[in-house]
Chains A and B, each alone.
Chain A
Amino acid sequence: MSEAATLPAELAPVTAAFQAAATDGQRLVIRGSGSVLDRLPPPAGAEVLSTEQLTGVLDHRPEDLVVTVRGGTPVEELAALLATHGQECPIEPLAGHGGTVGGRLATALAGPRQLAAGRVRDWVLRVRLVTPECRVATAGGVTVKDVTGYDLCRLATGSWGTLGVIAEVTLKLRPIPTQSAWFSTERPATSALADLYRPAAVVSTADATYVHLEEHPDDVTAQATTAGLTPAEPPRWPTTARAAVDPARLAELTDWARRSGLDLAAFEGVGVCLLDGDAETISAAAAQVAALGGGLLHLDPRAGGAHAPSGGPTDMRERVRAAFDPEQILTDVRQSR
Chain B
Amino acid sequence: MDPAAATRPRRDTVPTPTEQALLADLGRTLGEDGLRTSALSRATYRRDASFLNADPLAIALPRSREELAAVLTACRDHGVPFTPRAAGTGLAGGATPTGVGGVRPLVISVARMDRLLALDVANRRAHVEPGLVNARLGRAAAAEGLRFAPDPASQIAATLGGNVATNAGGIHVLTYGVMSQHVLAVELMDADGEVHLLDGRLPEQDALDLRGVSVGGEGTLGIVVGAWLRLLPAPPAVGTLLAGFATLDAAAATVGALVTSDRLPDAVELMDARAIALVEGYAQAGYPTDAAAVLLLEYEGLAAGVSAGVDTAARLADQHGATEVVRAADADQRARIWKGRKAVAGAIAKQAPDFFLQDVVVPRSRLGEMLDAVVAIGEREGLIILNVVHAGDGNLHPFVLFDRREEGVLDRVFAAGHDIVTTALSLDGTVTGEHGVGIEKRDFLSQVYTADDLALQQAVRSAMEPSGLANPDKVLPTTVGCQEAQMVPEGAWV
A binds B: yes
Instruction: Answer yes or no: B156 CB below 8 A from chain A CBs.
Output: no
Interface presence of A280 (CB below 8 A): no
A-contact bits for B176-187, CB 8 A (1 contact / 0 none): 011011000000
Name the A residues within 8 Å of B264 (CB-CB): 174-175
The CA-CA distance from A293 to B208 in the complex, in Å, is 16
Residues of chain A contacted by B456 (CB below 8 angstroms):
131, 135, 137, 139, 152, 323-324
> 1/0 contact trace for A82-110 toward B, CB 8 Å?
00001000000000000000000001111
A286-335, CB < 8 A from B: 293-297, 306, 308-309, 311-313, 316-317, 319-324, 334
Q: Which of B208, B452, B453 contacts A158 (CB 8 A)?
A: B208
Q: Which residues of chain B from 249 to 301 have a CB within 8 Å of any chain A CB?
A: 256, 259-264, 301
Pick from B197, B448, B451: contact of A148, CB below 8 A. Answer: B448
Cα–Cα, bound, A163→B213 (Å): 14
Q: Which residue of A lies closest to B179 (CB)?
A: A147
Could you say which of A157, A197, A323 contacts B460, with CB atoms under 8 Å apart?
A323
Would B216 and A141 count as touching, CB distance under 8 A? no
Task: Find out whether the CB atom of B233 lies under 8 angstroms from the CB atom of A136.
Answer: no
How far, in whole Å, are A103 and B123 apart by their CA atoms in the complex? Answer: 30
Q: Which residue of A lies closest to B215 (CB)?
A: A151
- Is A137 within 8 A of B202, CB to CB? no
Residues of B within 8 A of A8 (CB): none
* Least Cβ–Cβ distance between B445 and chain A, in angstroms: 6
Residue of B nearest to A310 (CB): B207
Q: Which of B205, B213, B436, B455 counts the most A-chain CB atoms under 10 A from its CB?
A: B205
Check if A294 sits within 8 Å of B205, measured CB to CB. Answer: yes
Contact of A244 among B203, B453, B462 (CB under 8 A): B203
Distance in angstroms from A128 CB to nearest chain B CB is 9
User: A86 near B198 (CB under 8 angstroms)?
Assistant: no
Inter-chain contact B216/A63, CB cutoff 8 Å: no
Cβ contact within 8 Å between A320 and B429: no
Closest to B256 in A: A63
Neighbouring B residues of A216 by C-beta, 8 Å? 263, 302, 304-305, 308
B457 within 8 A of A: yes
Known: A65-B259, A152-B457, A154-B212. A147 touches B204 (CB 8 A): no
Chain A residues lying within 8 Å of B120, measured Cβ to Cβ, are: 248
Contacts of A271 in B (CB 8 A): 201-203
Do the beta carbons of B196 and A222 come within 8 Å of each other?
A: no
Q: Is B114 an interface residue (CB 8 A)?
A: no
> Whose C-beta in chain B lies nearest to the C-beta of A2?
B452
Partner of B199 from the list A135, A197, A312 (CB cut-off 8 Å) is A312
Q: Which residue of B lies closest to A243 (CB)?
A: B205
In whole angstroms, how far apart are the Cα atoms of A188 and B234 in the complex?
23
Alpha-carbon distance A155/B390, docked complex (angstroms): 27
Q: How far is the CB of B257 from chain A (nearest CB, A)?
A: 9
Complex CA–CA separation, A309 to B202 (angstroms): 9
Query: Which of A142, A320, A324 gathers most chain B CB within 10 Å?
Result: A320
B236 and A308 contacting across the interface, CB-CB below 8 Å:
no
Kindly state the separation between the CA atoms of A138 and B452 in the bound complex, as whole angstroms. Answer: 8
Please determine whether A155 and B213 come into contact, CB atoms closer than 8 angstroms: yes
Q: Which of A44-52, A69-77, A116-124, A252-260 contacts B (4 or more CB under 8 A)?
A: A116-124
Count class of interface residues, chain B: 35 or more
Q: List residues of chain A with CB within 8 A of the CB of B207.
A: 308-309, 312, 317
Q: Tell me, yes or no, whether B361 is within 8 Å of chain A by CB.
A: yes
CA distance A66 to B390 in the complex (A): 17
* Chain A minimum-CB-distance residue to B212: A154
* Known pairs A148-B431, A294-B205; A198 contacts B233 (CB<8 A): yes
Among B174, B206, B361, the residue within 8 A (CB) of A146 is B361
Quote the shortest CB–CB distance from B375 to chain A (angstroms): 21
Residues of B within 8 A of A166 (CB): none
Which chain A residues lie closer than 8 Å to B362 at the CB level? Answer: 143
Tell me if B455 and A151 are in contact (CB < 8 A). Answer: no
Which chain B residues border A215 with CB–CB below 8 Å? 301-302, 304-305
Nearest Cβ on chain A to B221's Cβ, whole angstroms: 8
Q: Does B393 contact A (CB under 8 A)?
A: yes
Report if B217 contacts A (CB, 8 A): yes
Interface code B90-129, partner A: CB below 8 Å = 1, 0 otherwise? 0000000000000000000000000000001011000000
Q: Which of A207-235 contact B (CB under 8 A)?
A: 215-219, 222-223
A63 to chain B: closest CB distance in Å? Answer: 4
Cβ contacts under 8 Å, B65 to chain A: none
| Chain A contacts with B in 147-205, Cβ cutoff 8 A | 147-155, 157-159, 162-163, 174-175, 178, 197-198
**A-B CB proximity, top 8 nearest:** A154-B212, A295-B205, A218-B304, A323-B459, A145-B433, A216-B305, A319-B463, A219-B302
- Give 21 CB contacts A-B under 8 Å: A61-B365, A65-B364, A118-B181, A143-B393, A145-B390, A145-B393, A147-B432, A148-B431, A149-B437, A150-B213, A152-B457, A155-B208, A174-B264, A175-B260, A216-B305, A219-B303, A222-B303, A246-B202, A248-B120, A295-B205, A309-B207
A149-B476, A158-B208, A316-B196 known, 8 other contacts, Cβ within 8 Å: A3-B450, A61-B365, A63-B259, A118-B181, A147-B216, A198-B233, A309-B202, A311-B197
